[in-house]
Amino acid sequence: MKKKSLLKVLAIVFAVYVVLSWFIKAGYFSEGKLVADSTTPMGLFDIFRFPVITLSSSVFIIYGLVIVLIGALYGVLNKTGAYSRLVERVVEKNKNKGNKFIIFTIILFALLSSLTGLSLPLFILVPFFVTVLLSLGYDKKDSMVSTIGAILVGNIGCTYGFNIGGYTNYFLNTGINTEILSKAIFFVIITFLLIMYVVMKNRKVKKVTKKKLLKKKEVIEEKVEIPLYYKEGNSKKSFVPIIVIGCFVMVLLIVGMYNWEIAFKLGVFNDFHSNITSNEIVKNILGNIEALGYWSNYELLIILTMATLLIAWIYNVKVKDFCDGFIKGAKEMLPVAIYMMLANIIFLLMNSNSGTMFATIANFFLKMTKNFNGVTMAVTSAIGGVFYNDFPYLLNSLNSQITTLYTDSKIYPLIAFIMQSMHGIVQLLVPTSMLLFGGLKYFGISFKEWIKYIWKYVLEILAIAIIVMIVIAFI
């Protein structure tokens, strides 16, 4: 029952969308005005057709393949023997250091997410940190909020992440450094709150557990199942190559997938690409490769594949063991990949037609007041977070309406912050959030459990976001 609870929640959200499609007109914005002629009701065949389209869409298949390959990578890592040594060494080093490792994990994921906005590449690090956290005795909810949750928090408090800040700059013409101090302070506060939230919850759990154990006068050891981790042999080989390759891969992906030219007017990578591809021999050897800064999930797939093969070669993993590890890891992550793809059903619907019901809903709220209103903008952005799990698409859907309704560009930084923070907060709560939905499947956590765990923190960061909005409005 618990395993199917996630799909039930997603099915309910989809069912609500289907019902609304019969009553709310689908529209689009043209020169700031809503054009909405009729409804586009979803019929019986549509209910079955769109989930199939979602699972067969090339864009979402790429997402799924990345997740499957991450599983394959860790499956091969387990075959080296050195990976389990690395995990055990990190666990041993942090065993008696209180909450230092989980604090470090939260800061690392949140900071990288805030600075880069690259959620999918950061997922590569999740299995390793989760293995260490679970081995240190933290439960699955603490482990999830410290990794995947921290990535989402980094998006809420985005500072230089191109997928948020870069697109805001493009659509609303707000510089990459606009309100950067406010954003940085906001990021620091919500990250600190997340750390305190996890640490305090962990202390309460330990106190309750200790009381129960004293009452029963017995110690019960519970075996924790760790995703994508199993010991394979007793290899005495060094784990240093794993660390070096891992660091190199992450740096390469961050450099390659962050658009430096548009964000910071940095053309060095484009110039470098032009120089090396100007040589016909080098160009033929490399093949068709984009310049650093313009890499996509396709390049991410290639790098993951190359890293997996390189690790297998360095550690002399036999072909049979390589295939076994690759298949085992990929198989374990396949359900996660499918769930992440299914989380995009409504997002797909938003991009399948020229008009959407969200445009009509947004128009209703934004025109409730004659002048700009932070509350209606926040509500619109929050609802948009349910429809669009990718922030640039939400921004694009409202750009025409915003720039027409509000001609004073001085309020654009405030609008950008409201949209960014509200969209991000919603992504912590809804099943249409691809990263959240996949994370819940990965950890085996039900949607109900997650909401019970996270709702207080969401209220805290919502309160902080409102305060920052007021400060920006009056500066």
Spatial distance between the Cα atoms of 15 and 212, rounded to a whole number of angstroms = 43
Least-confidence region, from 182-186, 206-210, 275-279: 206-210
pLDDT category of residue 219 using cuts at 50, 70 and 90: very low
In the predicted structure, residue 225 carries a pLDDT above the cut 90: no
Is residue 171 within 8 Å of 399, Cβ to Cβ?
Answer: yes
pLDDT at 359: 92
Tell me what the pLDDT averaged over the chain comes to. 90
The three-point CA angle 110-474-369 to 5° equals 95
DSSP 411: G
pLDDT category of residue 408 using cuts at 50, 70 and 90: confident
Measure the N-to-C terminal CA separation of the chain; round to a whole number of Å: 52
- The arithmetic mean of pLDDT across residues 78-96, rounded, is 93
pLDDT at 138: 93
In the predicted structure, residue 216 carries a pLDDT above the cut 80: no
Phi, psi of 29 (to 5 degrees): -95, 130
pLDDT in tens, 1-31: 455 689 999 999 999 999 999 999 998 888 7
In the predicted structure, residue 398 carries a pLDDT above the cut 60: yes
Is residue 71 within 8 Å of 326, Cβ to Cβ?
Answer: no
pLDDT at 165: 85
The three-point CA angle 188-192-198 to 5° equals 150
In the predicted structure, residue 458 carries a pLDDT above the cut 90: yes
Report residue 103 as tokens. Answer: 């604090």
Spatial distance between the Cα atoms of 322 and 302, rounded to a whole number of angstroms = 18
Which residues make Cβ contacts (< 8 Å) with residue 362, sequence separation at least 6?
380, 383, 384, 397, 398, 401
pLDDT category of residue 171 using cuts at 50, 70 and 90: confident
pLDDT category of residue 290 using cuts at 50, 70 and 90: confident
CA 96 vs CA 129, 136, 137, 341: distances in Å: 17, 9, 12, 40
Looking at the chain, the whole-number percentage of residues with pLDDT higher than 90 is 69
- The arithmetic mean of pLDDT across residues 389-400, rounded, is 92
Is residue 149 within 8 Å of 194, Cβ to Cβ?
Answer: yes
- The arithmetic mean of pLDDT across residues 236-255, rounded, is 94
pLDDT at 74: 97
Higher pLDDT, 340 or 474: 340
Residue with tokens 């309704």, as numbered in its chain = 405
pLDDT in tens, 118-162: 999 999 999 999 999 999 999 999 999 999 999 999 999 999 999
- The arithmetic mean of pLDDT across residues 48-76, rounded, is 94
Spatial distance between the Cα atoms of 26 and 39, rounded to a whole number of angstroms = 5
- The arithmetic mean of pLDDT across residues 223-234, rounded, is 80
In the predicted structure, residue 437 carries a pLDDT above the cut 90: yes
pLDDT at 94: 94
Report residue 437 as tokens. Answer: 């939905």
pLDDT at 461: 96
DSSP alpha helix (H) spans, 217-259: 240-257
pLDDT at 361: 94
pLDDT at 30: 82
pLDDT category of residue 217 using cuts at 50, 70 and 90: very low
Q: Which amino acid is at 105?
A: T
Q: What is the CA radius of gyration of the chain?
A: 23
**221-236: burial string, b at 16+ Cβ within 10 Å, e else:** eeeeebbbbeebeebe
pLDDT at 97: 86
pLDDT at 201: 79
DSSP per position, 402-446: HHHH---GGGHHHHHHHHHHHHHHHHTT-TT-HHHHHHHHHHT--
Spatial distance between the Cα atoms of 6 and 357, rounded to a whole number of angstroms = 25
pTM over 0.75: yes
Higher pLDDT, 351 or 141: 141
DSSP alpha helix (H) spans, 161-224: 167-172, 180-216
Spatial distance between the Cα atoms of 314 and 246, rounded to a whole number of angstroms = 13
pLDDT at 213: 46
Helix (H) or strand (E) holding 461, with range, is: helix 447-474
What residue segments make up the domains of the chain, in order of their start?
A: 5-30+42-259+294-474
Beta bridge partners of 26: 38
